[in-house]
Structure formats: C-alpha cells, structure tokens
Amino acid sequence: MPKLINLINQYGWPEIENILFAIYPDQSTNAREYQEVYSRLKVLSPIPTNMRIVIEKTRDELSGASYDNLYGKNGELVRDHQPHPYPESVKDHGEISWALDFTDWAQWLAMEIDPQTLANYSEPEVIAHCLYEMTFYSYHEERIREIRDSILSSPSENENKE
C-alpha cells in the first residue's frame, strides 16, 4: 500500500490545487495557505505509524446528504478496546475508526492509504481530502497542537457536574 508521502511526491501543487478546490470550492480563498502546507509536507520526514487513511462516502442520517468521510484505522478492534468507546450494540463491529484532525503532519505522511480508498478515489483526490482534514483547525501545525493540548487539558463535562 502506498503511503501519503509517496502520493505527495508524485504530484505538484497545480494538480492538487485544481482537485482540492473542485471538491472544496469554499476553500479557494485559502489557496496560498494550502500551497504553503503542501510545500512543508514535501520536506517533512515521515514519523512511522500503523494508522492508515480511509476515505468513504457517508450519508448524513439527518439531512440525507452524502459526503466524503476521512478517518484512520490501525487494526485495533472495537471489541478489544478498553474502556469500551461504543455502546454494546456495536461492540463487535470491526476496527475502530479514529479522527485524524490533531495528528502530527509527519505521522500523516507515513500513513498507508487503504486499498478500498485507492479503488474509489484518485490519488490527487486522496491528497486533497487529506490536506483539508489535516488543516481543519489551522494551516500551522503549532496552532493545531495548541488547540489539541487545550482540549486535552480541559476538564470533561462529567468532572464539572456536581
């Protein structure tokens, strides 16, 4: 399975820019920021991880609209995870899906692309979805870390209830 860094090294910014803004037209005003992130990704050294990138069409239960959902999987099964993050009704349903928004970009680069994702999306589309997801909170990795750390250090709702 190819890794994200392999895909990024195969494509120049103009190819990715066209796809990115076709998929996410509202992001075109941020073209300079995306281009800077893409340039940074090309020089970062990947940090090994066993997480892989999965993208699939998903339907919103409330609106019925479909969208491309990006998440990570690392082979960890729902039934084996403690504490158990899901209700009993889904306890034995395959691999856990992980949000990747706060993942370090160097780790993103080392992630393999799930074979089913590559069967359903072109390589530039995969890169575009990854760029959107990895910059969801900021175009600066240090700011993303600050937001992540702030969330992790906040008391949970349950700790605030008396």
**What confidence tens digit (pLDDT) does each residue in 100-137 have?**
999 999 999 999 999 999 999 999 999 999 999 999 99
Q: Classify strands 112-113 and 52-59 as parallel, antiparallel or unpaired.
A: parallel
pTM of the model: 0.85
Rounded-to-integer distance, Cα 152 and Cα 43, Å: 29
91 and 137 Cβ atoms separated by less than 8 Å? no
Rounded-to-integer distance, Cα 152 and Cα 162, Å: 21
Helix (H, G, I), strand (E, B) or coil at 95: strand
In the prediction, which pLDDT does 76 show?
A: 84
In degrees to the nearest 10, what's the CA dihedral of 161, 83, 135, 38? Answer: 160
